Amino acid sequence: MNELAPKKLKASDYKSNLKPVWCPGCGDYHVLLSVTQAFAKLKLEPENIAVISGIGCSSRIPAYTNTYGFHSIHGRGLTVATGVKVARPELTVVAAGGDGDGFSIGGNHFLHACRRNTDMTYIVMDNEVYGMTKGQPSPTTDPEWDSALSPGGTGLSPFHPLVIALASGANFIARTFSGDVKGTASIIADAIVHPGFSFVQILSPCVTFRPDQKVWKEQVHKAVVNETDDPARAARRLMSDDGFNTGVLYRGHREPYRFSCGEEKGDIMEIQKQFEV
Amino acid sequence: MSDDNNNTSVSVAMVGSGGAGVMTSGNMLLEAATKAGLYGLMTRTVGPQIRGGEAAALVRLSAKPVHCVDDHFDILVAVDWKGAERFAAEVPLGPQSLIITDPETGEVPEILAASGARIVEVPIGELANAVDGGRPNMVILGLVASLIGLPEEPINKIIAKKLGKKGDAAVLASRQAVSAGYKATAGLTSPVTVSDAVGDGTGRWLISGNQAAGFGALRGGIRFVAAYPITPATEVLEWMSPNLPKMGGTLVQAEDELASINMAIGASFGGRPSLTATSGPGLSLMMEGIGLAVSSETPVVIVNVMRGGPSTGVPTKSEQTDLNIAVYGLHGDAPHVVTAATSVEDCIFTAQWSVHLAEAMQTAVIVLSDQFMGQASTIIDPPANISFIAQRLVEEAPTEDYRRYAVTADGVSPMTLPGTPGGQYTADGLEHNPKGLPSTLMEDHRDQMDKRDRKVAEFNYGDHWADVEGDADSELVVLTWGSTTNAVREGIERLRAEGVSCKLVAMRLLSPALPDYFDQAVKGAKRILVVEQSHSGQFLKLLRANYDMPGEIKSFRRPGPLIIRPGEIVDTIKDWRDQ
C-alpha cells in the first residue's frame, strides 16, 4: 500500500470514464458500484489492484474501473488472475466474470482455483444466461428455460456454484444480490480481506434476455442463520438452499497457496555447477 | 563407427526391457567416459509402456564432441530381448557390428541377426547371479566399457557417486558385477575402440536438451513458470521447479495447458518474465492464449518439445511436425516469433535468446525443441556465458497522457507494471486503441496490427537467425532446422573431408521470415537440399511460402521416429551429384 496517499478516495475515484456496453437496467451496473465501494472502504490504491476477467457481458468490468486490469479470453480469467497474484503477491487481485465464463468454459479452473486457495477474490455475476451472444442457457439456467439453441429447455440439472465452491475448498463463500449495493460492497470487502480464495456469487439480473428475473428483488432474502467456519454445517445449509439466500455462508481457515515470486536473488553460476561432471 | 572417419567414435546400444536398468548403465557409461576424457551423447528409445516395455540406451562416444547418432551401431548388448524387435529399425547394425547376448534369454531376434553382425554369447545373468546383489545391467556396463577400452577406475567412481546413498553393499555389488563384465571380455575383440581422449573431463557439462532449455530460460531471466506435465517436455519443468526459487522465482503446477499459458500471461502482465513448456497436444490447447499474449502485447515464452503427431501420436519419439502449428496456428493476423534449437547444447542459447526476444518485443515466442534433443544427454564443453537478459521497455513514471499501446516507430510501446501510480490500463484481447480501450474502428485495428507486425518483422535478430557453416561460396546448400541439423552437419563434414564443397544453413528463426538474410545465405546456390523429419514437408513449404530459393530444390524428409543419419545425407548428395 502506498502510505503517501494524498487523499481519501471515493468509490467514484475507482471508476474509469469508459461507458459500459451493458443494457440499461443490467444488474452489473450495481456490481460495478459495489466493487468500487469495496475498494474505497478498504482504502486501496487503484494502482495496487488488478481486476481480471474472461469474456462475456460482466467480464467487461476491468476497463470500467481505474485499476490495472486484464480482459482476457473466455473462461480463463481465474488462471490469468492466479498468475498475477503468484507473480505479485502484494497486489489485491479480483477476478470477475459471468456464469457461462466461470462455470461452463472455465469450470475446471473454478474447481482448481478453489483447491489452490490463492489469496484472491472471485466474483461471479450470475444471470443464468449467455447475454453477449443473445440469450442461450448457461450452466445455472433452469432446465425448462426455452431458447432458440435449446428449444424446450436443456433438461439439465443446474450447476450449484456454492456447493461446488465448498466441495472444492474455497476459503470464503458468499451470495449477494446486485440490487443490494451496500450489502454486496460489504461482502466483497470482506472477501478481499479474507485470506485464500474467496468466492462471491452475485445474483445480477439480465433484463434483456431474462426479464423474468425482475422478480429476483422480491425473492432474495438474508439467510436466517449466521455464517459458519464448519464445512459440514455449511454443506447441510446448502441442502435446503432455495438459491436466494444471501450473506456469507462459509468463512474457513485453510492456509492460502504458499508459493509466490520473491525478490530477485541467487547466482546462476552456482546453479550451473550441477551440470559439471 | 563411420566408414569415413575410422575409429573416431563408437556407438553402443544397451538393450533390455523397462526396469532392467539399461538407462542407468547408459548414463554411467556416459559419465565414466567423460571422466576418461571422452565426449558423448546418449539417446533413448522406449516403448509407450510406463514400466516394463522395451527400452534401449544408445550411447555414442568420441574424443571429439558428439552431436548426433551414427549410421550404425558397433556393439549391441542385451540384458533381454523382450520387445526388442520393435525398435530394431532404430538400431541399425551391419556385418562389422558385434551382438552380445545371454543364451538364457533366447535367440537373437531374426530382424537383428539378419544384419550379419557377429554374435557372441556371454552368460550375463549367470555372471550377475554369481555376485551377491549383482545385476545384469552392471555386467553389461563392464562388458561394454572393457570392449571399448575404458579403464575400470572411472566407472568405480561413478558407481560410488550414484549408488553411495544406497549403502556400501550396493556399491560393492555393482563394482563386482562390473568387474565380472570386464573379465568376461577376455579373448573378445571389439570392432572399434576409442582413443585420443584428452584429460579427465574436468569442467565439462553433462546436460540434456530439456535441462538446457530450462537453464537457458532461467539464465535469460525467466522467474515464473506454469506447468502441466506432458511427454517429452516434463523434464524442462522438473528442472525448473527446484531451480527457480534459488533466483526468486516460482513454478505453479496448473490444472491443464489452458491454465498454464494464461497463468504465464498473468504473471508476465505482473512484470515477471514467464514461461511454460509443453508438447504438441498441449501447444494445440494453448493457441488461444498465445493469441491473447500477441494482442495484449504480453511477453511469454512457450517451449514446445515436439513428438510424433497428430493427436496423441507417438509421444515417446521425435518428429519435426509442430512447425506448422507454431507458425500458423493462431487465428487472425498474429505476428509472433518461432525459434528452434539446433542441438542439445544450443537449447541453452536458443531458450535464453528467446526470452530476450519475447521481453524486448513484448510478444509470444514459441521455442521448438524435440524429443531427440530434449531427452538426449550429452557431454559438452562449458557453454559461453551469453549476455542476453530479459529487458522489457517499462514505463516507471507515466504522465497523464500515458498510452499503453502508443504507436511507436519500432512498434514497441513502454509498458507499465501494476503498482505504478498513474499507469493503470486494461490489457485486452479485444482490439483496442492506443490507450488500451476496446475499439472496433478500422484505423485502430490497422494501426495496432501494423505496430504488432512491425516490432516483430523489423527487429534486429542479428546473425542468430541461422547457423551458416561450410563453404561460403558453395553451389550446394543444405537447408535444415532443429535436431536434424546435427546429422546434416556431420554429413557435410564428411563430404568436405572428401573435397566436396558444401554449405549448411540451419535456421534458428522460423518466423518471422527474413528474406534479406536468407537471400544472402543461399546466394549462388545451384542446388538446395531441404532436410526435415516430417512426412508432409512442413519446412519445405514454409521455405517456399516465404523465400525465393535459387536453383534446383530437393527434399529429403521422412516422419519420425527414425532419425535422419549423417550417412544418408552423404549418400543423398552423392547420388544427386552423380545424376
Q: Which superfamily is assigned to B206-380 in CATH?
A: Thiamin diphosphate (ThDP)-binding fold, Pyr/PP domains (3.40.50.970)
Residue of A nearest to B420 (CA): A47
From the first residue on, what is the mean pLDDT of each consecutive set of 10 residues in chain B (579 residues)? 57 91 95 93 84 87 94 95 86 95 94 95 96 96 95 92 92 96 91 81 94 98 98 98 98 98 98 98 98 98 98 95 98 98 98 98 98 96 86 97 98 98 98 97 98 97 96 97 98 96 98 96 97 98 97 97 95 93
Collapse the DSSP code of B39 into the 3-class scheme (helix H, G, I; strand E, B; otherwise coil) and give the result: strand
Of A83, A262, A268, the CB nearest to B226: A83
DSSP string, A211-227: GGGGGHHHH-EE-SS--
Of the candidates B78, B39, B44, the one whose C-alpha atom is nearest the C-alpha of residue B62 is B39
pTM of the shown model: 0.97
* Distance from the Cα of residue B444 to its chain's centroid: 41
Identify the pLDDT of residue B2. Answer: 39
Cell matching residue A148: 432458440
DSSP B217: H
Residue of B nearest to A272 (CA): B215
DSSP A187: H
Identify the pLDDT of residue A6. Answer: 59
Q: Please answer yes or no on whether A277 and B31 come within 8 Å at the CB atom.
A: yes
**A242/A226 Cα distance (integer angstroms):** 16
Of A69, A111, A275, the CB nearest to B426: A69
Yes or no: say if A98 and A26 are a contact pair by the CB < 8 Å rule: no
- The arithmetic mean of pLDDT across residues A42-55, rounded, is 98
Residue of B nearest to A87 (CA): B267
DSSP string, B233-285: THHHHHHHHHHGGGGT-EEEE-SSHHHHHHHHHHHHHTT--EEEEE-HHHHHH
> Right CATH number for B464-578 from 3.40.50.20, 3.40.50.2300, 3.40.190.10, 3.40.50.920?
3.40.50.920
Q: Would B206-380 and B464-578 be classified into the same CATH topology?
A: yes
Identify the pLDDT of residue B422. Answer: 97
Q: Please answer yes or no on whether A46 and B424 come within 8 Å at the CB atom.
A: yes
Of the candidates A251, A148, A133, the one whose C-alpha atom is nearest the C-alpha of residue A196 is A251
* Cα separation values, B199 from A272, B7, B34, B38, B156, Å: 21, 19, 9, 8, 18
Check: complex ipTM more than 0.90: yes
The answer, for B247 touching chain A at a CB cutoff of 8 Å, is: yes
Give the count of beta carbons closer than 10 Å to the beta carbon of residue B276.
Answer: 33
Identify the pLDDT of residue B6. Answer: 44
Residue B263 half-sphere exposure toward CB, CA atoms < 13 A:
31
The answer, for A111 touching chain B at a CB cutoff of 8 Å, is: yes
Q: Which superfamily is assigned to B9-183 in CATH?
A: Pyruvate-ferredoxin oxidoreductase, PFOR, domain III (3.40.920.10)
pLDDT, tens digit, 9 for 90 and up, residues A83-124: 999 999 999 999 999 999 999 999 999 999 999 999 999 999
Of the candidates A132, A158, A157, the one whose C-alpha atom is nearest the C-alpha of residue A20 is A132
The answer, for B254 touching chain A at a CB cutoff of 8 Å, is: yes
Q: Please answer yes or no on whether B425 and A68 come within 8 Å at the CB atom.
A: yes
**B506/B487 Cα distance (integer angstroms):** 11
Residue, of B189 and A55, whose pLDDT is higher: A55
Helix (H) or strand (E) holding B41: strand B39-46
Domain boundaries, chain B: 9-183, 206-380, 393-459, 464-578
Say which amino acid occupies B457.
A
Q: Write out chain A residues lying below 8 Å of B247, CB-based.
A: 264-266, 268, 271
- What is the SS3 string spanning B292-353? HHHHHCCCEEEEEEECECCCCCECCCCCCCCHHHHHHCCCCCCCCEEEECCCCCHHHHHHHH
Helices and strands in chain B: count of H runs, count of E runs: 18, 21
Identify the pLDDT of residue B199. Answer: 84
**A3/A143 Cα distance (integer angstroms):** 52
Identify the pLDDT of residue B53. Answer: 81
Collapse the DSSP code of B478 into the 3-class scheme (helix H, G, I; strand E, B; otherwise coil) and give the result: strand
Identify the pLDDT of residue A4. Answer: 55
Of A47, A260, A272, the CB nearest to B423: A47
The answer, for B393 touching chain A at a CB cutoff of 8 Å, is: no
DSSP B400: T
Identify the pLDDT of residue A3. Answer: 53
User: Domains of chain A, with CATH numbers?
Assistant: 23-275 (3.40.50.970)
Identify the pLDDT of residue B5. Answer: 42
**A118/A130 Cα distance (integer angstroms):** 28
Could you tell me which residues come within 8 angstroms of residue B431 by beta carbon, excluding any fewer than 6 positions away?
Answer: B295, B438, B439, B440, B444, B445, B448
Identify the pLDDT of residue B1. Answer: 36
**B418/A99 Cα distance (integer angstroms):** 27
The answer, for A4 touching chain B at a CB cutoff of 8 Å, is: no
> Where does residue B368 fall: left (phi above 0), alpha (psi -120 to 50 degrees), or beta otherwise?
beta
Confidence of residue A148 (pLDDT cuts 50, 70, 90): very high
Burial of B464 (0-12, 13-18, 19+ CB in 10 A): middle
